[in-house]
């Protein structure tokens, strides 16, 4: 078995993208914008990784939208992030099936754990503290977030940074992802990928993955 498991967060550990979507819509309303991202629109927008980048990409595609400065986008994203934390805090977004068992099994096997995500440290901590308790991070040897690196997924930067911190060769690790962007990012770092299918990325092309599962409870028997 692999020396380390490197986990994506959004969609992989929990179905958080639906909460991100609702938090974006909350921020737009608060900011006086009549934008609304329904699930179909959000599915399309998820091709752009990173919340600030996603807002910018959407604005660029609008014909009649008001001008939006970088400061406006930062403010929208700040409101979005605060509301996301509130939503997570309600407990409405548990970890997906099999995740807690996999983390426990990995620890028992002596496998190291790491996180490679596009979202922020604050968002990771909100989710994981709610699900696993305040000391959850003690079980992880590397936690690399989008703003820690130059380029977000599908660039390999977060994965390369995790490998550097773990001091492991990519072939000794397995990346666990739910999206084509995540699969591309890990593959560019030469890390074998296991896909756990999630709500928004059912139709992505996962042909480059080693394994594709409906959820991580399928790993429990192995």
Query: Among residues 4 and 55, whose Cβ is nearest to ligand XBP?
Result: 55
Q: Which of 178, 180, 191, 200 binds Mg ion (CB under 5 A)?
A: 178
Give the number of residues written for the chain.
Answer: 222
- Going along the chain, which residue ranges are E strands? 4-7, 112-116, 142-144, 173-177, 193-196, 211-213
- Tell me the two tokens of residue 200: 């928004």
Residue 20 binds to ligand XBP (criterion: CB under 6 A): yes
Q: Which residues contact 101 (CB under 8 A, 6 or more apart)?
A: 216, 217, 219, 220
Identify whether the C-beta of residue 165 lies closer than 8 Å to the C-beta of residue 141.
yes
Q: Which of 50, 98, 156, 170 binds ligand XBP (CB under 6 A)?
A: 50
Place of tokens 């967060």: 9
**Which residue of the set 8, 157, 178, 204 is catalytic?**
8
Identify whether the C-beta of residue 152 lies closer than 8 Å to the C-beta of residue 50.
yes
Query: Among residues 11 and 156, whose Cβ is nearest to Mg ion?
Result: 11
Interacting residues with ligand XBP between 108 and 127 (CB under 6 A): 117-120, 123
- Tell me the two tokens of residue 186: 């890990």
Minimum distance, C-beta of residue 110 to ligand XBP, in the bound complex (Å)? 26
Residue 25 binds to ligand XBP (criterion: CB under 6 A): no
Identify whether the C-beta of residue 111 lies closer than 8 Å to the C-beta of residue 85.
no
Q: How far apart are CA 73 and CA 84, in angstroms?
A: 16
Identify whether the C-beta of residue 115 lies closer than 8 Å to the C-beta of residue 146.
no
Q: Which of 7, 18, 25, 49 binds ligand XBP (CB under 6 A)?
A: 49
Written as one string, the DSSP assignment of 175-202 is EEESSHHHHHHHHHTT--EEEE--GGGT
Which of ligand XBP, Mg ion, none interacts with 187 (beta carbon under 5 to 8 A by kind)?
A: none
Residue nearest to ligand XBP (CB): 51
Query: Among residues 8 and 157, whose Cβ is nearest to Mg ion?
Result: 8
Q: How far apart are CA 37 and CA 171, in angstroms?
A: 39
Residue 182 binds to ligand XBP (criterion: CB under 6 A): yes
Query: Among residues 157 and 178, whose Cβ is nearest to Mg ion?
Result: 178
Query: Among residues 118 and 196, whose Cβ is nearest to ligand XBP?
Result: 118
Q: Is 139 a catalytic residue?
A: no
Residue 96 binds to ligand XBP (criterion: CB under 6 A): no
Residue 156 binds to ligand XBP (criterion: CB under 6 A): no
User: For binding to ligand XBP (CB under 6 A), which residues are involved?
Assistant: 8-11, 17, 20, 49-51, 117-120, 123, 146, 153, 179, 181-182
Active site residues: 8, 10
């Amino acid at each position: 078995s692999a020396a380390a498991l490197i986990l994506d967060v959004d969609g992989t550990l929990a179905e958080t993208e639906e909460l991100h979507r609702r938090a974006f819509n909350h921020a737009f309303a608060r900011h006086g914008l009549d934008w609304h991202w329904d699930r179909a629109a959000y599915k399309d927008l998820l091709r752009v990784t990173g919340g600030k980048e996603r807002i910018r990409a959407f604005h660029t595609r609008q014909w009649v939208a008001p001008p939006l400065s970088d400061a406006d986008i930062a403010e929208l994203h700040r409101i979005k992030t605060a509301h996301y934390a509130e939503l997570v805090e309600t407990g409405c977004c548990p970890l997906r099936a099999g995740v807690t068992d996999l983390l426990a099994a990995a620890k028992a096997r002596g496998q190291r754990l790491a996180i490679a995500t596009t979202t922020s440290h604050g968002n990771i901590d909100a989710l994981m503290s709610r699900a696993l308790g305040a000391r959850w991070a003690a079980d992880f040897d590397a936690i690399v977030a989008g703003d820690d690196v130059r380029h977000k997924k599908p660039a390999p930067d977060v994965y390369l940074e995790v490998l550097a911190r773990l001091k492991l060769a990519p072939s000794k690790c397995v990346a666990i992802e739910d999206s084509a962007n995540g699969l591309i990012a890990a593959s560019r770092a030469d890390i074998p990928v296991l896909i756990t299918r999630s709500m928004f990325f059912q139709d992505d092309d996962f042909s480059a993955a080693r394994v594709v599962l409906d959820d991580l409870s399928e790993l429990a028997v192995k």
